[in-house]
Amino acid sequence: MRAPEKRRRVLVLSTLWPNAEQPRFGTFVESSIRALHRETEWEPVVVNPIGAPPIAFGRYRKLADAARSGEEAGIAVHRPRFSLIPGVGARLNPGAIANAVLPLARQLHDQHPFDLVDAQFFWPDGPAAARIARALGLPLSIKARGADIHLWGAKSFARDMMMAAAEQADGLLAVCQALTDDMAVMGLPREKVAIHYTGLDRDRFRPLDHTGLRACLSAELGVPLARGETLLATVGALIPRKGQELVIQALSSLPRARLLLVGQGPDETRLRQLASAQGVADRVHFLGSLDHDLLPPVLSAADAMVLPSASEGLANAWIEALACGTPLVITDAGGARDVVTGPEAGVIVARETEAIAAGIRRVLDARHDPQTVAAMAERFDWAANGRALGAHYDRIVSGRD
């Protein structure tokens, strides 16, 4: 199908975007913007600021080296560097990003004018994008995804800047209804917020044939996957908020269960120590950040995807697991009730070890057909996501005319 003629341009500011050092970082943002480009008349120009200390070292050296611009899948991606102070400089980041991006934004706007500025994350992108939009005299859209509201919105310095940006914005987006409610409680203008659900790569995430699947995975991952064992998967960054420790603790009462932890993060050492202390280290496998082609087989082979998060927006891992025919055991966080709309999708449980173990047992006892589980994710689609984003931009620009 021929792509629509591009009549409008949007400057997309996103600190969440894949780069050479972090190829899986922010892929959901990339998928959404690619769908926008493919499905609508909007031409996105992405600015993906890369933060590193003035003297880059360790992982920051590699990140700084990844700050390379170019065309990616037909979309111009610019990666200016901005200075940050690791651990203590968060309140300075919006200003540092704006300082780094504004000269580039002016240059691009002079060459081929933009119609709108869009921030794909509320912090630190939102306040930075607000300053850029104000300088260029353009309308502004900001999207909330979860941690930006729940984590940064709890810090007074960030909340004040986010509220000022929201006041300036012509439109806001949230990934689910629960996040819209949380934004309103925080003081952001509910009347400006529209819900924008995530999408899904249906060619990649679908139920895979289980015949021989575990044996293939066992060889690929170097993990013993015995026939008849319960296989659990937890997909998410290894940080306390995601609750992997609760799943590890639940294994003590699930003697035939094996856990695959997909993701990486600063909590890994503590989680490994916990698995040893619980006597389940031989049944907990840290897979790191998997190649995306390996994630669908892992999810398809699992009997349940367990993610007891303290807070979420609407986790892509939920939707991807369902699309692979794997039911969920999740907590009542963010858009959980937008996703678990029937028993086929799994269960919502309390964020407690015993409740998680009981929820896993309920899902195992139900044994819904994978195709029936996958049907629960049918409304999530990247093409629809891209069209909805373009329609949101259209409303904002029309409102300014």
pLDDT digit string, tens, across residues 151-166: 999 999 999 999 999 9
Tell me: pLDDT of 132 over 90: yes
Cα–Cα nearest to 168, from 123, 195, 197, 128: 128
Distance CA 253, CA 134 (A): 57
Beta bridge partners of 173: 143, 194
What are the structural domains of the chain?
Answer: 8-199+381-400 (3.40.50.2000), 213-377 (3.40.50.2000)
Query: Counting every residue, how long is the chain?
Result: 401
> What gap in Å lies between CA 390 and CA 356, rounded to an integer?
39
**pLDDT category, 89, cuts 50, 70, 90?**
confident
Report pLDDT for 192. 97
pLDDT band with cut points at 50, 70 and 90 for residue 245 = very high
> What type of residue sits at position 224?
P
**For position 74, what pLDDT does the model report?**
93
Assess contact for 350 and 307: CB atoms under 8 A: no
Residue 250: name the closest of 124, 103, 353 by CA: 353
Residue type, 304: A
Q: Is the pLDDT of residue 295 over 70?
A: yes
